[in-house]
Structure 1
Amino acid sequence: MFEKLFHLKENGTNVKTEITAGITSFFTMAYIIFVNPQILSAAGMDAGAVMLATCIASAIGTFLMAFLANYPFALAPGMGLNAFFAFTICGSMGYSWQAALAAVFISGCLFIIITVTGVREAIVRAIPMELKSAISVGIGFFIAFIGLKNANMLKFTIDPGKYQNFDGTIVADASPVPAFNFASASTLLAIFGLIVLAVLYVRNVKGALFIGILVTSAVGCVLQFVFGIDVGVSAPSAGISIPSLAPTFMQFTHGFGELFNFSEGVGTALLSVVSVLIALVLVDMFDTIGTLIGTATRANMLDKEGNLPRASGALLADAIATACGAVMGTSTVTTFVESASGVSEGGRTGLTSCTTAVLFLLAIIASPFLGLVPTAATAPVLIIVGVLMMASVKNINWNDFDTALPAFLTIACMPFAYSIADGIAAGFIFFTITKLFKGKAKEVHPIMYILCVLFILRFIIVM
C-alpha cells in the first residue's frame, strides 16, 4: 500500500526510514504546539483552543503535502507570522483577533488562486540557480542560529550605550548583544546532545537524529527527576484533557466587518487592509518557497534546471492549509524549515509527512507527555541540519560580484533578520540592482523585477 501511494523504491527509501524521518521532523517542530498558543493568547485568543487549532491545522496541511505533492515536508503555524498576527495586526494596528483571522483567510484564498493559476510556480522557476543555492545555505545558517538559541548557548544582553535614529531621536538600552553561554544545565545537556549526534554521524549510524533526541531526552529526564537538576523537562500532568475548539472555530467570519470598515474613509481602510495582506502574502509565500527550495536542494530533489518537480502540489497544500488554519483559529500555516531534519534523516516521500501529521493528531491527547522531550534535546538537531545544508555554498560563484553580493545578503540576512522572507528580499533586490547596472538586465527574469518592487513596497509599508 505504501509503495503504491508514495513510490518508495522510486525515491530510494523504505518504510522504516520514512517513519523515522517523520518522527524526527515532529519532535524538532513540536515546540510550536506550546509556543503558538502563548503568542496568540497575547492577542486575546483562548490558549487551549489555539493549541487544538495548531495541532489540527498542522495535521491537515502536512497530510495535504503528502497526498498532493508526495514530499517529506511538514506544515504548521509559522513563527514570525504568528508574532506579526499578535503584535502588529492585533497590537500596533489595533485589529481584533477575529479580523486578523479574516485577513489570514483572505491571504489563504489568494494563495490558492495564484497557485492554481501557476503564478507561484512561475516565481519559483524565475529564481536564478545561484540564488536558490544561497537560499539553501541561508536557511542552514538560520536553522543553526535557532538551534544555538534554543540550546541556550547564546545569551542576549542589552548594550547600555545609546544610538541615534535617522530622525534624530535617541534610543537607550535597546541594542541586544549576543554572547556565548555555558552556565546553565540545559545548555550543558544540549552540548551533550550535540556530541552524541556528532559521534552518531561520523559513525554513519542510521537514524542518528532521532536516536540523538531519544538519548538526550533520557539523560534530561534522569537529571531532572532523579538528581533534581532543572534542564527544561516537564513532568506529565495528571489525566488527559482535550480543550474545546469552539472559542476560535469559524470566528474569522466575525472579522470581515471590522477589516473592511469604511467609516473612516475607503482609502484609509483599503490601505490598511492591503498593507496587512501584502505582508502576509509575501512573508508566507517566500517562507514557503525558500523552505521548499532550500530543503529540496539538500535532498537533491531539484531537476537539472534547478526546479522542483510537483511544486504546484506542494504550494497548493500550503495555500489550502493557510485557509484551513484560519477556519480552525490560528495564524498563517506554512511549510516548516524544521522539515529539513526529517529530510536529513532520509525522508524522501509523503510517508514522512503522513507520519508527522499523525503525530500532530496524537499530540492532542499526548501533549502532557511532550514535555519529556526538552528543547535541549531538539536544538542540537537543528545545528547539525544547519551544517548539512552548507553544502550548497559550493554552487555559488564568489568571484562574480554581481552574484556574490546578493547571495551573501540572502545568506546573512536570514539569521540576522530572523526571517527567511527578508533574506530572500535582500537577495532579490540586490541581484536585480547589480545585474541592471552591470548591463545584464536581460539576465533578470521579468518576474524578478515585479517581486523587487513588491518587496520594496512591503518594507515601506511596515516601516
Structure 2
Amino acid sequence: CGFGVGDMAMPSVPTQFISTSFDTSLFGAFASGFGQIFSNIPDLILILFSLLFVTFFDTTGTLIPLANQCGFVDEKGEADGIDRAFLGDAISGIIGAILGTSTLTAYVESATGIGLGGRTGLTAIVTGILFLVSLIFAPTVLALFTSSVTAAALVIVGILMMVQLKEVDWDDMVVVSSVFMTIIMMLLTYSISLGIAFGFVTYAITSIAAGKAKELNWLVWVMVLVFVIYLFFGL
C-alpha cells in the first residue's frame, strides 16, 4: 500500500478500508506433526524442555517488572495473583497454537498502558476487543502505522522498565554484576530468557568469588545447572 521513493517506502492512502481475507491456513496445523514427534521420544523431551524454558522465563521476566510497576509486589518480592497470570499466559499459548497464530504471551509493551493508568483486568479486555476490531482493518489501514510510529511507544516502554532499576542494591557487587549481565545480554541476544540465564550464571560465579556461595538456596544451584546446560550445550 505504498510507493517507493529511492530505497524508502512511503505510505499511501489505502485502496480499501475493510478486509475479510483472513489467513486460516495454519489453523490446527500443530496436530500434523504429532505422528512424527512421538516416534522419537528423546527429541520430544528436548523440544518440550526448550519451549518450557523459553516461555517460562520470558513470561517471568515480563510479569515481575510489570507487577512491580502496578504495585502488586510486596516487600518479600512476591507478586499478588502471579499464579493466575501464569495460568492465563499458559492457556493463551495453547489457544494460540491451536489457531495457528504467533505466540500469545505477556509482553513488556504493556508497561505503556500501565504507565498511563491501566492496571486492572478491564484494560486487558478493552485491548483485546480493539485488537479483534483491528482484524478487519489489517493490513490495509494499519499499514499506515509504520515502524517510525511504533518506535516512540517502544522508547516509552524502555524508559518505564529502566525505572525499576532504582530498586537494585547498588552497593552489592554480586547483585549489580548479575543485573548488568542480565540487561546487557537481553539487549545483545534479544531474548529475556537468555538474559535471565546469563544473570543466574553470573550470580553464582560472583557469589563464589565473594565467599557467599553457602548463602544460596539449593534451588538456585539447580537453576544454575539448568542454565549452564541450556547455554553451553545447545538445549
Equivalent residue, structure 2, for 1:259: 37
1:31-64 residue CA offsets vs partner (Å, 9 max, x unmatched): xxxxxxxxxxxxxxxxxxxxxxxxxxxxxxxxxx
**Which amino acid is the alignment partner of residue 421 of structure 1?**
S
Equivalent residue, structure 2, for 1:420: 192
Equivalent residue, structure 1, for 2:106: 335
Tell me if structure 1 keeps the 8 A contact 2:185–2:195.
yes
Kindly indicate whether residue 146 of structure 2 is the aligned counterpart of residue 379 of structure 1.
Answer: no
Gaps of 5+ in 1: 1-223, 262-268
Alignment of 1:14-413 (within 5 A): 232-233=10-11, 235-238=13-16, 239-245=18-24, 247-261=25-39, 269-367=40-138, 368-413=140-185
**Which amino acid is the alignment partner of residue 242 of structure 1?**
S
In terms of mean alpha carbon deviation, does 271-280 or 333-342 score higher?
271-280
Equivalent residue, structure 2, for 1:430: 202
Tell me if structure 1 keeps the 8 A contact 2:112–2:160.
no
Kindly indicate whether residue 219 of structure 2 is the aligned counterpart of residue 447 of structure 1.
Answer: yes
Instruction: Let me know the Cα RMSD of the aligned residues.
Output: 2.4
The structure 1 segments of at least 4 consecutive aligned residues displaced by more than 4 Å after TM superposition are: none
**Which amino acid is the alignment partner of residue 185 of structure 2?**
C
Kindly indicate whether residue 230 of structure 2 is the aligned counterpart of residue 458 of structure 1.
Answer: yes
State how far apart, in whole Å, the 2-side matches of 1:291 and 1:234 are: 36
State how far apart, in whole Å, the 2-side matches of 1:233 and 1:447 are: 53
Tell me if structure 2 keeps the 8 A contact 1:249–1:327.
yes
RCO comparison, higher one (Cα < 8 Å, 6+): 1
Shift of 1:437: 4.4
Cα distance change, pair 237–271 in 1 and its aligned pair in 2 (3 A): farther
TM-score, structure 2 as length reference = 0.87
TM-score, structure 1 as length reference = 0.46
Gaps of 5+ in 2: none
Tell me if structure 1 keeps the 8 A contact 2:89–2:105.
yes
Tell me if structure 2 keeps the 8 A contact 1:252–1:327.
yes
1:297-318 residue CA offsets vs partner (Å, 9 max, x unmatched): 2333311212110000000001
Shift of 1:424: 0.6
Fraction of identical pairs, as percent: 37
Cα distance change, pair 396–244 in 1 and its aligned pair in 2 (3 A): closer
Aligned length: 230
